[in-house]
Amino acid sequence: MSPLETAEPFGARLRHAMDTRGPLCVGIDPHASLLTAWGLNDDIAGLERFTRTVVEAIADRVAVLKPQSAFFERFGSRGIAVLEKAVAEARSAGALVLMDAKRGDIGSTMGAYAETFLRKDSPLFSDAVTVSPYLGFGSLRPALDQAVISGCGVFVLALTSNPEGAEVQRSTSAGGVSLAQLMLNHMADENADAEPLGSVGAVVGATLGEAGVDLDINGPLLAPGIGAQGATPADLPGVFGSAVGNVVPSVSRGVLRHGPDVAALRESAARFADEVRTAVAGA
């Protein structure tokens, strides 16, 4: 591709994946406790085996796989090598890879994060990355710009699934709206005119009961918190209302606890996918 050609936008690729595979995202979170439960050691060999099993079991059937970078960084450079391999293999199997790295920093450093996760020649190149906007939405500009160049997505924290998030995210900005709403408004601006779906997504916890914000951002809504954190697919219509069709529900431990048996991992993911389909169809 010449530098002047633009890649197919992430939003379009994601919409296609959601329509053909269903919207479920499965997280790869190799907790030490899961490695133990799978009969693996909490070491690099255990991490490698766990990750390979999840990718082989799930990557050919879900829209999105979301590795949680923290669990790989824990093992230093050898953990990152496992992550690099998993990203490449998951993408080859047809899953979109959303790197859950939650990076946020001043713009010049954000540029380096953008190169790490969103530049095509990077070893950790992924389809999308999670970022934190709480250094100011404008600090994300290098990632937003690099995402356009590479056809990637950026998922911005808005209302996180943890109860502690509310004291920051629900607090009121100088303009009188919540910080979360302010960030969502920026996302809507980034996605204006995008079809069929913008490439800037919001992270909004499935655990919230009711979002209480305007989620009409013309972009995907990543909804973590299903499974181990207590939310279920049946909660999605209540949280997301009329935006539920743009939701990418995310489950990590709720699926992973069924391993290491590949069939059981697949069955669990299929069950969550069915429950999501039923919940969204009835909304």
**Of residues 133, 224, 249, 259, which one binds ligand LLZGTKA7 by CB under 6 A?**
224
Using the structure block, give the residue that is written with the tokens 């990543």: 222
Question: H-helix or E-strand containing 226?
Answer: strand 221-226
**Of residues 205, 219, 259, 260, which one binds ligand LLZGTKA7 by CB under 6 A?**
205
Stretch of residues binding ligand LLZGTKA7 (CB under 6 A), selected from 17-25, 37-45, 109-117, 227-235: 227-235
Distance of CA 280 to the CA centre of its chain: 19
Cα distance between residue 235 and residue 21, in whole Å: 21
66 has catalytic annotation: no
CB 129 within 8 A of CB 110: no
| Residues in region 106-135 near ligand LLZGTKA7 by CB under 6 A | none
**Of residues 133, 153, 225, 249, which one binds ligand LLZGTKA7 by CB under 6 A?**
225
Compute the least distance from the CB of residue 166 to ligand LLZGTKA7, in Å.
Answer: 11
State the binding string over 44-83 for ligand LLZGTKA7 (x if CB under 6 A, else -): ------------------------x---------------
Cα distance between residue 98 and residue 153, in whole Å: 8
Establish if 161 lies at the interface with ligand LLZGTKA7 (CB under 6 A).
yes
**Of residues 116, 139, 150, 160, which one binds ligand LLZGTKA7 by CB under 6 A?**
160
Establish if 253 lies at the interface with ligand LLZGTKA7 (CB under 6 A).
yes
Local structure of residue 68 (DSSP, 8 states): B
Establish if 235 lies at the interface with ligand LLZGTKA7 (CB under 6 A).
no
Cα distance between residue 282 and residue 270, in whole Å: 18
In order of 67, 143, 163, 179, 275, the CA distances from 24 in angstroms are: 14, 24, 23, 27, 10
Establish if 227 lies at the interface with ligand LLZGTKA7 (CB under 6 A).
yes
CB 117 within 8 A of CB 124: yes
Compute the least distance from the CB of residue 256 to ligand LLZGTKA7, in Å.
Answer: 7
List, as one string, the DSSP characters of 137-152.
GGGGHHHHHHHHHHT-
The upper half-sphere exposure of residue 191, i.e. CA atoms within 13 Å in the direction of its Cβ, equals: 28
Cβ proximity to ligand LLZGTKA7: between 253 and 266 the closer is 253
Residues in contact with ligand LLZGTKA7 by CB under 6 A are 27, 29, 68, 100, 160-161, 203, 205, 224-225, 227-229, 250-254
| Positions marked active-site | 102
